[in-house]
Amino acid sequence: MKVLRTALLLTALTLVLIVVGDAFGGPNGMKIALGFAVLLNAIAYFFSDKIALMSSGAKPVSREQLPRLYEVMERLAAKANLPVPKLYLVPEAAPNAFATGRNPRHASVAVTQGLLQLMNDDELEGVIAHELSHVRNYDILISSIAATLAGAITYAAKMGYWASIFGYGGGRDNERQGGGLSAILMIILAPIAAMMLQLGISRQREYAADQSGAQMVGQQFGLMSALQKLGAYNQRIPSNIPQTTSALCIVKPMFGGGSVWSSWFSTHPPLEDRIAALREMTISRPG
């Protein structure tokens, strides 16, 4: 069901791009906008792991330095038939973790010092299984596709804005669709719609990683307890992880007071909803 919802959201993003591109620039306008978005997001896709690790201050760690983390990671990676990712430590007290890398062979997992100090073995196992699920589900690739489509919609809307100012446009229906109130509304609303769909995809991938991570471990209670701790401590301990990297984290770091608007525009579902979804899971035991 989570995969279907993600597919539907990606389809909706594609349809918005087609409508906006055709309205303001015809097929050529859509191709130009998509080309810009593909170029920028391809760069981000291939270098996002280095950017995320560098910006968060993550440092590589060896098995001798963190044997507990390596033991959990190696056991779960073998269970999931995945290469063991490179492991990093973020030197900060706020508990969190994130995975990055364009595919399982180029994956990295970073955890904060606070996470290792606060989590018991079952909770740490739940967190690591969640991050490995992001790797196995190719969520970095899915997020990159969503970002490309959303970026193309934004570029197409900007092209339409400048076209309306200078009184020209390339679409065959430009006079019918590109002018007046409808064009202004599309210029404003299309990027918002694209962002909301992109955020929806991000939230669905978090639910999916929770579910597949619990299945990987064989029970959901460690992850449920970990999410409760992560929510509580991240409301009290400030994080140094930059907002550009926070979307990768298992829970979004707290940078300030929350609001209804911030929950609408969050890359993560509410923690209580994630915990409730895990509580309702039925995991069959092998054998």
Q: State pLDDT tens for residues 225-246.
A: 999 999 999 888 988 888 778 8
Q: What is the predicted pLDDT for the residue at 33?
A: 59
Q: Is 131 a catalytic residue?
A: yes
Question: Rounded distance, CA 145 to CA 129, Å?
Answer: 24
Q: Hey, is 210 helix, strand or coil?
A: helix
Work out the pLDDT band at 9, boundaries 50, 70, 90: low
Mean pLDDT of the chain: 79
Range of 235's domain? 2-279
What's the distance, CA 73 to chain centroid?
21
Whether 255 shows a pLDDT value over 80: the answer reads no
Q: Hey, is 132 helix, strand or coil?
A: helix
Domain assignment present for 166: yes
Counted domains in the chain: 1
Question: Rounded distance, CA 89 to CA 260, Å?
Answer: 33
Q: Does residue 90 contact residue 58 with C-beta atoms inside 8 Å? A: yes
Position with higher pLDDT, 139 vs 78: 78
Work out the pLDDT band at 200, boundaries 50, 70, 90: confident
Q: What is the CA radius of gyration of the chain?
A: 21
Domain assignment present for 285: no
pLDDT in tens, 73-92: 999 999 999 999 999 999 99
Domain assignment present for 83: yes
Q: Which of 123, 125, 131, 206 is catalytic?
A: 131
Domain assignment present for 13: yes
CA triple 151-43-89, angle to 5 deg:
110
Encode burial over 233-256: b for 16+ CB neighbours within 10 A, e otherwise.
bbeebebebeeebbbbbbbbbbee
pLDDT in tens, 204-214: 889 999 999 99
Domain assignment present for 263: yes
Domain assignment present for 252: yes
Whether 158 shows a pLDDT value over 80: the answer reads no
Q: What is the predicted pLDDT for the residue at 140?
A: 76
Q: What is the predicted pLDDT for the residue at 268?
A: 87
Question: Rounded distance, CA 158 to CA 152, Å?
Answer: 10
Whether 171 shows a pLDDT value over 60: the answer reads no
Position with higher pLDDT, 65 vs 34: 65
Q: What is the predicted pLDDT for the residue at 107?
A: 92
Q: What is the predicted pLDDT for the residue at 152?
A: 66
Domain assignment present for 287: no
Domain assignment present for 113: yes
Whether 156 shows a pLDDT value over 60: the answer reads yes
Work out the pLDDT band at 247, boundaries 50, 70, 90: confident
Of 9, 40, 36, nearest in space to 21 by CA: 36
